[in-house]
């Protein structure tokens, strides 16, 4: 999601320059896709796998539209390529926020394993680190 910030920041330099928009969208989107591929961690749930695949796909689509804007008209879409890129980035941000919210409350196997452990005992009357009461 940080790449979306850079896209917005770079595009503000000269809003009238379509070349700057295309370059900033292409660099940020390609960078986002590459970083996601390089730092991929384990995704234990179907939600993690689906969100990862969707993010890479959306970043790749933004990069393709930025590099070759004629693809939009070739597909029969009657809007400007810049608007298509903006919609794709909006969907990416929306999905990212919702996946982050869902993962915040997701139970993982490591948190379930810590709940099964024996509770820690309180310190004795001396309160030292080594003083554990039975």
Cα–Cα dist 37/33, whole Å: 6
With a cut of 80, say whether residue 34 has pLDDT above it: yes
Q: Does the pTM exceed 0.75? A: no
The mean pLDDT of 8-24, rounded to a whole number, is: 73
Query: For residue 64, what pLDDT band results from cuts at 50, 70 and 90?
Result: very high
Q: What is the pLDDT, as a whole number, of residue 109? A: 58
Per-residue confidence band for 119, with pLDDT thresholds at 50, 70 and 90: low
| Token pair 């790749």 in the structure block, residue | 60
DSSP, res 13: S
| Domain boundaries defined on the chain | 2-106
**List of residues 6+ apart from 28 with CB closer than 8 A:** 3, 4, 6, 7, 10
* pLDDT band per the 50, 70, 90 thresholds, residue 58: very high
Cβ-contact 54, 88 below 8 angstroms: no
Whether residue 22 is predicted with pLDDT greater than 80 in this model: the reply is yes
Other beta carbons within 10 Å of 89: 23
Q: Can you tell me whether residue 117 is helix, strand or coil? A: coil
**Residue of 95 and 129 predicted with greater confidence:** 95
Burial environment of residue 110 by CB neighbours within 10 A (0 to 12, 13 to 18, 19 or more): exposed
pLDDT for the residue 124: 53
Confidence of residue 16 (pLDDT cuts 50, 70, 90): confident
Q: What is the mean pLDDT of residues 98-120?
A: 64
């Amino acid at each position: 999601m940080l790449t979306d910030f850079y896209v917005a920041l770079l595009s503000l330099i000269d809003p009238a320059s379509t070349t700057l928009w295309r370059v900033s969208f292409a660099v940020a989107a390609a960078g986002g896709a590459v970083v996601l591929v390089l730092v991929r961690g384990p995704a234990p749930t179907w939600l993690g796998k689906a969100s990862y695949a969707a993010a890479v796909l959306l970043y790749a689509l933004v990069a393709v539209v930025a590099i070759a804007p004629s693809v939009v008209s070739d597909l029969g879409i009657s809007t400007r390529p810049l608007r298509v890129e903006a919609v794709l980035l909006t969907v990416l941000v929306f999905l990212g926020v919702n996946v982050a919210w869902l993962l915040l409350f997701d139970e993982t196997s490591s948190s379930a394993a810590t709940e099964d452990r024996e509770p820690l005992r309180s310190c004795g009357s001396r309160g030292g680190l080594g003083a554990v009461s039975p």
